[in-house]
């Protein structure tokens, strides 16, 4: 006789699917539960989403994977929250009221599109709302990032500790302090209005960019990129840009910047996981769809009279992404953008990148002169990237000995593990060039 029972699955198949769903759906489950429970019960929402995933690991191998796994998880997390609240003895009346509210709610019923494991569009709204909660300006930036990655993006404490080269205990303390602040400040689970919306939106954009940046060029560890962090930032940015409250020039500028950068993610390392310089990448392998999407966002970003750092950085990224070749890159335009960045949004990274751009636009000797001028300033004297940039420019000039010396200095001063591997590879190349030229 025919049966509607789904086919059984192996433990390995279930583990792979649940691992994928944990990353893709846990933030949505937590956000939907927070809508009912309130932000002061964020821990409970996280625990219930974890319990739902554990239940899937236990049940699916024998009962089969349901047709809509994400909807199954959401329903299970919701039911677990109801059961938990009804078992609470303290404040029983209030807990029972909330449980009844969740049980009777129709607003988070999940449609069942064939083969689609995504939650409803409403869950995207809840996920964004949780972002605005996590990015309250009164919470320190590093805690905003940790809480967003943990609660919204589904990163575990161990993952965060590894990503930021710190102990799990330190990450847990950041999360605990952030949640305590949310409770003490009485931050409601809602999108703020008026001036508070503008301030909170600025923090949300900064955190999304910080997540993308950490994935694009990691600050610690053995990997040069963490693609899943870039993808999370892109998803959050796309959600934000699609909502009326997030449909701003700054949001579109940030989306353009991230899309241009993400278009070449898989070309940024070679087969040995060494960083590959932009000019050495195979442009035929860049993701043209993402570049086209970036161009569309950049056009929307140009509406009005807003000029943010995202606009300027997106303009620079666009010059690279749309150039037919490295030789045809519009370095004059890039320098113009860096001039404005240095004037309005100065940082050591901006000044150093501007100096390199001057080298490509006006001659490598000019770039060397500009970096030598920066070297006299405290923030550049012991910066490994200062000497790595000098090494590259001297390399362009065919000055192997000077280049080798600068890369040796860069290696001695530090850098991430991938950067140090790159410096050593450059030193090997330059040593070989010296031998063959003698």
Please name the residues in contact with 274: beta carbons below 8 A apart, sequence gap of 6 or more: 224, 418, 421, 422, 425
Alpha-carbon gap, residue 216 to 211, rounded angstroms: 9
Q: Considering the entire predicted model, what is its pTM? A: 0.84
pLDDT at 106: 46
Alpha-carbon gap, residue 398 to 431, rounded angstroms: 13
Is residue 291 within 8 A of residue 314, CB to CB? The reply is no
In DSSP terms, which residues pair with 275 in a beta bridge?
A: 269
Closest CA to 232 of 257, 258, 250: 258
Alpha-carbon gap, residue 28 to 22, rounded angstroms: 10
Q: Which residues of the chain register pLDDT less than 70? A: 1-9, 88-123, 221, 438
Q: Where are the domains of the chain?
A: 1-104, 124-183+196-217+227-260+289-300
Q: What is the dihedral of CA 49, 51, 52, 55, to 10 degrees?
A: 160
Render 380-427 in DSSP notation, one character per residue: HHT-HHHHHHHHHHHHHTT-HHHHHHHHHHHHHH---HHHHHHHHHHH
In DSSP terms, which residues pair with 269 in a beta bridge?
A: 275
Query: Measured in Å, how far apart are the chain's first and last C-alpha atoms?
Result: 84
Render 27-91 in DSSP notation, one character per residue: HHHHHHHHHHH-GGGHHHHHHHHHHHHHHHHHHHHHH---SSHHHHHHHHHHHHHHHHHHH--TT
Alpha-carbon gap, residue 313 to 339, rounded angstroms: 11
pLDDT at 104: 55
Alpha-carbon gap, residue 161 to 170, rounded angstroms: 8
What digits encode the pLDDT tens for the residues 154-181? Answer: 888 887 887 777 888 999 999 999 999 9
Q: Which residues of 140-175 are buried (b: 16+ CB within 10 A; e: fewer)?
A: eeebbbbbbbbbbbbbbbebbbbbbebeeeebeebb
Q: Is 269 helix (H, G, I), strand (E, B) or coil?
A: strand
Q: 273 φ, ψ to 5°?
A: 65, 20
pLDDT at 8: 63
Taking CA atoms, 285 is separated from 215, 258, 268, 280, 288, in Å, by 20, 17, 11, 12, 8
pLDDT at 99: 57
pLDDT at 103: 58
Is residue 235 within 8 A of residue 249, CB to CB? The reply is no
pLDDT at 125: 82
Place of tokens 């847990």: 172
Alpha-carbon gap, residue 370 to 394, rounded angstroms: 13
Q: What is the dihedral of CA 330, 334, 337, 343, to 10 degrees?
A: -140
Is residue 151 within 8 A of residue 42, CB to CB? The reply is yes
């Amino acid at each position: 006789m025919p049966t509607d029972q789904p086919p059984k699955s192996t433990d390995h198949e279930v583990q792979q699917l649940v691992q994928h769903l944990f990353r893709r759906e846990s933030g949505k489950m937590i956000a939907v539960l927070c809508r009912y429970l309130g932000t002061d019960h964020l821990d409970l929402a996280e625990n219930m989403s974890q319990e739902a995933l554990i239940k899937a690991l236990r049940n699916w191998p024998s009962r089969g994977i349901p047709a809509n796994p994400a909807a199954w998880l959401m329903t299970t997390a919701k039911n677990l929250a109801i059961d938990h609240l009804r078992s609470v003895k303290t404040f029983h009346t209030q807990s029972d009221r909330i449980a009844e509210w969740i049980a009777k709610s129709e607003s988070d019923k999940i449609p069942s599109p064939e083969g689609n494991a995504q939650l409803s569009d409403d869950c995207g709204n809840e996920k964004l709302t949780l972002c605005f909660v996590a990015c309250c300006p009164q919470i320190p930036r590093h805690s905003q990032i940790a809480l967003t990655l943990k609660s919204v993006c589904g990163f575990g404490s161990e993952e965060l500790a590894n990503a930021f080269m710190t102990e799990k205990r330190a990450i847990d303390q950041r999360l605990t302090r952030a949640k305590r602040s949310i409770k003490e400040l009485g931050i409601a689970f809602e999108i703020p209005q008026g001036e508070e919306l503008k301030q909170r939106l600025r923090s949300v954009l900064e955190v999304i960019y910080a997540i993308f940046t950490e994935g694009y060029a990691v600050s610690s560890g053995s990997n040069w990129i963490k693609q899943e962090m870039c993808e999370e930032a892109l998803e959050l940015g796309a959600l934000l840009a699609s909502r009326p409250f997030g449909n701003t020039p700054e949001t579109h500028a940030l989306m353009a910047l991230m899309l241009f950068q993400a278009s070449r993610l898989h070309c940024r390392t070679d087969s040995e996981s060494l960083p590959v310089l932009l000019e050495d990448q195979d442009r035929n392998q860049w993701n043209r769809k993402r570049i086209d999407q970036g161009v569309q966002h950049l056009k929307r970003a140009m509406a009005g009279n807003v000029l943010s750092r995202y606009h300027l950085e997106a303009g620079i990224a666009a010059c690279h992404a749309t150039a037919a070749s490295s030789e045809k890159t519009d370095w004059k335009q890039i320098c113009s953008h860096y001039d404005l960045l240095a004037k309005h949004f100065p940082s050591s990274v901006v000044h150093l990148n501007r100096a390199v751009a001057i080298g490509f636009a006006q001659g490598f000797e000019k770039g060397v002169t500009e970096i030598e001028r920066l070297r006299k300033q405290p923030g550049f004297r012991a910066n490994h990237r200062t000497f790595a940039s000098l090494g590259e420019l001297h390399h362009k000039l065919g000055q192997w000995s000077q280049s080798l010396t600068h890369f040796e200095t860069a290696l001695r001063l530090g850098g991430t593990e991938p950067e140090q591997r790159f410096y050593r590879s450059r030193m090997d190349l330059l040593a070989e060039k010296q031998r063959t030229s003698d």
